[in-house]
């Protein structure tokens, strides 16, 4: 099992609503550095299963590294959802849960900007972490658009009210209650949020909600580079089980190499966790596979380009990505890439995970 996997004790379980519970974790002092996180990131939890040994689920951190002493995630029960129902029904303080270290690239680069946070249901969890961090440790101001089925399903309702009272000039919460106003649509949401089109937009929620918000942003002419999405996805691989494929099996549907590139192995220099490794990198192998096959504990969760956990920087040489759903144009221009999707495109490449 990966060295980035740890067993944490549940310090407390907080019932937020009938269908949502927050799990607060106790992190021992020797792991504080490993569990340092940025607002908007998530933890991946291992949930035991009699059928498969375990299943893995990602839950956003609702806590703030600038405010809260302990990391916490919020789990919302879903109909027929094995993991969410098990966590909500059975986990108690004192239980032990295996988790991966924090991952994900969703969230602002700084805490001083003007933000529009848009949440649908339990999509509030990473946005609460961002809001608390901005208000406590930055100078930014926030408009939070929050859609829910009814008022009883509003997660963190009391906490949001407290934050509004404490920061009346820096936080404004706009609730959209479907039982009272109907489902949100692009036209009505666009009209409501038009005055905030110059802000950076951060959107999290079910796919239907994110589709509406993206359409609303486009309708009021928010540049695509200022719209950031955190979408809920099911993992197709379990990072807690030994299911890593050898590099030579990851060759389907790859883009062609650049003109003039040879077919040999690339000389790879990679910086990770303060150490430098020198490896051969086959032209048809993705970077993450090469690292794992050589026993290097690279960070990853989804292997599908969506979570951003395996982000790294190309310091020298050229690479190309098979697929990208996590990085925006500005980050690509800075040389960032996703190890799970990256192929070499020159004879010599230097990559760093120590950003």
Q: How confident is the model at residue 256 (pLDDT cuts 50, 70, 90)?
A: very low
Residue 188 corresponds to which tokens in the numbers above?
Answer: 């009505």
The answer to whether 72 touches 22, Cβ cutoff 8 Å, is yes
On the question of pLDDT at 97 being above 90, the answer is yes
User: What pLDDT sits at residue 264?
Assistant: 66
DSSP string across 150-169: SGGG-TTHHHHHHHHHH-TT
Kindly state the average pLDDT of the residues 160-176.
Answer: 98
Close Cβ partners of 251 (under 8 Å, ≥ 6 residues apart) = 284, 285
Q: What is the pLDDT of residue 259?
A: 41
Please tell me which residue, 258 or 186, carries the higher pLDDT value: 186
pTM for this predicted structure: 0.78
Task: Give the position of tokens 């999405």.
Answer: 229
- Residue 90's pLDDT is 94
Tell me if 243 sits within 8 A of 237, measured CB to CB.
yes
Q: What's the residue count for the chain?
A: 355
- Sheet containing 171-177: which strands, arranged edge to edge? 171-177, 141-148, 114-120, 200-205, 227-231
Hey, what domains does the chain have and what are their CATH numbers? 5-103 (2.40.30.10), 114-230 (3.40.50.80), 265-352 (3.10.20.30)
Instruction: Please report the sign of the dihedral spanned by the C-alpha atoms of residue 18, residue 84, residue 87, residue 232.
Output: negative
- The DSSP 8-state label assigned to residue 35 in this structure reads T
pLDDT in tens, 56-68: 889 999 999 999 9
pLDDT higher than 90, residue 255: no
Give the range among 220-224, 228-232, 236-240, 271-275 with minimum mean pLDDT. Answer: 236-240
Q: How many CA atoms lie within 13 A of 78 on its CB side?
A: 12
The H or E element spanning position 258 is none
* pLDDT at residue 251 is higher than 60: no
- Residue in this structure with the two tokens 């805490």, named with its chain if needed: 111
Q: Does the pLDDT value for residue 185 go beyond 80?
A: yes
Per 3-state DSSP, the chain is made up of helix, strand and coil in percentages (nearest 5) of 25, 30, 40
Element (DSSP H or E) covering residue 215: helix 207-219
In this predicted model, which residue has the larger pLDDT, 54 or 313? Answer: 313
Q: Which residue has the tokens 């993206």?
A: 214
Q: What is the mean pLDDT of the chain?
A: 88
The predicted structure's pLDDT at residue 247: 32
Question: Mean pLDDT over residues 321-342, rounded?
Answer: 86
Confidence of residue 328 (pLDDT cuts 50, 70, 90): confident
């Amino acid at each position: 099992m990966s060295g980035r996997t740890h067993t944490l004790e549940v310090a407390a379980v907080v019932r937020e609503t009938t269908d949502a519970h927050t799990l607060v974790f106790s992190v021992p002092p020797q792991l504080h550095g490993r569990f340092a996180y940025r607002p908007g990131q998530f933890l991946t939890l291992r949930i035991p299963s009699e059928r498969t040994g375990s299943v893995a689920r990602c839950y956003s951190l609702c806590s703030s590294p600038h405010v809260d002493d302990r990391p916490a995630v919020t789990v919302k029960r879903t109909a027929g959802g094995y993991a969410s129902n098990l966590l909500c029904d059975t986990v108690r303080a004192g239980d032990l849960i295996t988790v991966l270290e924090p991952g994900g690239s969703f969230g602002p680069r700084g805490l001083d900007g003007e933000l529009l946070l848009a949440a649908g249901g339990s999509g509030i969890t990473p946005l609460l972490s961002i809001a608390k961090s901005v208000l406590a440790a930055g100078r930014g101001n926030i408009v939070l658009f929050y859609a829910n089925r009814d008022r009883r399903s509003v997660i963190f309702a009391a906490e949001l009210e407290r934050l509004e009272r404490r920061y009346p000039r820096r936080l404004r919460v706009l609730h959209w209650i479907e039982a009272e106003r109907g489902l949100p649509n692009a036209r009505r949401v666009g009209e409501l949020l038009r005055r905030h089109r110059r802000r950076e937009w951060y959107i999290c929620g079910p796919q239907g909600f994110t589709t509406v918000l993206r359409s609303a942003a486009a309708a009021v002419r928010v540049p695509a580079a200022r719209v950031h999405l955190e979408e809920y996805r099911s993992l197709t691989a379990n990072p807690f089980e030994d299911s890593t494929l050898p590099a030579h099996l990851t060759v389907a549907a790859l883009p062609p190499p650049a003109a003039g590139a040879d077919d040999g192995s690339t000389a790879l220099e990679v910086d990770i966790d303060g150490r430098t490794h020198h490896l051969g990198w086959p032209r048809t192998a993705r970077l993450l596979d090469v690292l794992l096959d050589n026993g290097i504990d690279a960070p990853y969760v989804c292997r599908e380009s969506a979570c951003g956990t395996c982000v790294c920087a190309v310091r020298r040489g050229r690479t190309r990505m098979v697929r990208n759903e996590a990085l925006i144009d500005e980050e690509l221009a800075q040389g960032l890439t996703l190890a799970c999707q990256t192929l070499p495109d020159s004879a010599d490449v230097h990559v760093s995970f120590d950003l």
